[in-house]
Amino acid sequence: MASENCLVANDWVCGQYLREYRQELTDATLQQLWITAVSVAIGLLVAFPLALAARRRRIVAGPVLAATTILYTVPSLAMFSLLLPVFGITPWLVVTGLVLYSLTILVRNILAGLQAVPADVTESARAMGYGPLRLLFGVELPLALPAVMAGLRIATVSTVALTTVGAIIDYGGLGNLLLSGIGSNFRAQVLAASVLCVVIAVLADVALLGVQWLLTPWKHKRRRARAGAAA
């Protein structure tokens, strides 16, 4: 009987809430996933050419890194306010803000990964007739992949958390439930939304780690070879 009255009792853990508000939780979760995925994807597409430009021309590296760092220091409320005249109260207002925030992490990690590629490897590839594009996608990016994926994982987890701030304009995914739950002291809703945010962040990180594992098979072969030699 007590479990059926957990909404009235305003319990933190309430199965009745999960059953009765299942659709609301599903819609908020899907919005959270959509905003996060689109923001990170666009951020990666923007960060990649910026990192390439910063690597090729040192005079560009300073301004690019400085600009992306400054963007990350802008408070989210101020960022959304600055973007509001351009995008209005739409999901793209939140997405654009999240893209700008992700650039600091993504640009730095992509640049660090590319700069860490040994010079003798690139020189050998050029001697073998590799052109700029083939060199980039066939040699440099595969070697830079661990650093790139590390940045992508951090940016994704960070974006999952920052997406909730979009609740101030009603496009915050689970943040909408968090904001309304806190405002009404609805404990079950606050806890459910919080747990779902954590679960999304953890699953996204694990999924990207799995992608990294699949895209870097040579690292596993090297580890197995070392383990065999040690044995």
Could you tell me the CATH number of the domain that includes residue 161? 1.10.3720.10
Q: How confident is the model at residue 15, as a pLDDT?
A: 84
Of 12, 13, 19, 16, residue with least CA distance to 1: 16
Cα–Cα distance measured from residue 205 to residue 75, given in angstroms and rounded to the nearest whole number: 25
Q: How confident is the model at residue 157, as a pLDDT?
A: 95
Q: Is residue 11 part of a domain?
A: no
Q: Is the pLDDT of residue 1 over 50?
A: no
Q: Domain count of the chain?
A: 1
Q: Is the pLDDT of residue 229 over 70?
A: no
Q: What is the mean pLDDT of residues 106-114?
A: 93
Average pLDDT, the chain: 87
* DSSP structure class, residue 14: -
Q: What is the mean pLDDT of residues 36-50?
A: 95
Q: How confident is the model at residue 209, as a pLDDT?
A: 92
Q: How confident is the model at residue 154, as a pLDDT?
A: 95
Q: Is residue 7 part of a domain?
A: no
CA distances 165 to 26, 75, 175, 177, Å, are 18, 11, 6, 11
CA distances 179 to 29, 56, 91, 173, Å, are 14, 45, 17, 10
Q: Is the pLDDT of residue 228 over 70?
A: no
Q: If pLDDT is split at 50, 70 and 90, which confidence band does 67 have?
A: very high
Q: Is residue 2 part of a domain?
A: no
Contact 87, 105 (CB under 8 A): no
Q: Is residue 1 part of a domain?
A: no
Cα–Cα distance measured from residue 85 to residue 195, given in angstroms and rounded to the nearest whole number: 34
Q: Is residue 9 part of a domain?
A: no
Q: Is residue 166 part of a domain?
A: yes
Q: Is the pLDDT of residue 222 over 70?
A: no
Q: What is the mean pLDDT of residues 209-215?
A: 88
pTM of the full structure: 0.86
Cα–Cα distance measured from residue 36 to residue 99, given in angstroms and rounded to the nearest whole number: 9
Q: Which tens digit of pLDDT belongs to each residue from 127-138? A: 888 888 888 888
Q: What is the mean pLDDT of residues 171-181?
A: 90
Cα–Cα distance measured from residue 211 to residue 214, given in angstroms and rounded to the nearest whole number: 5
Q: Is residue 169 part of a domain?
A: yes
Q: If pLDDT is split at 50, 70 and 90, which confidence band does 118 have?
A: confident
Q: If pLDDT is split at 50, 70 and 90, which confidence band does 147 have?
A: very high
Q: If pLDDT is split at 50, 70 and 90, which confidence band does 60 have?
A: confident
Q: Is residue 203 part of a domain?
A: yes
Position with higher pLDDT, 5 vs 204: 204
Structural domain containing residue 79: 17-230
HSE (side-chain half, CA atoms, 13 Å) at 108: 15
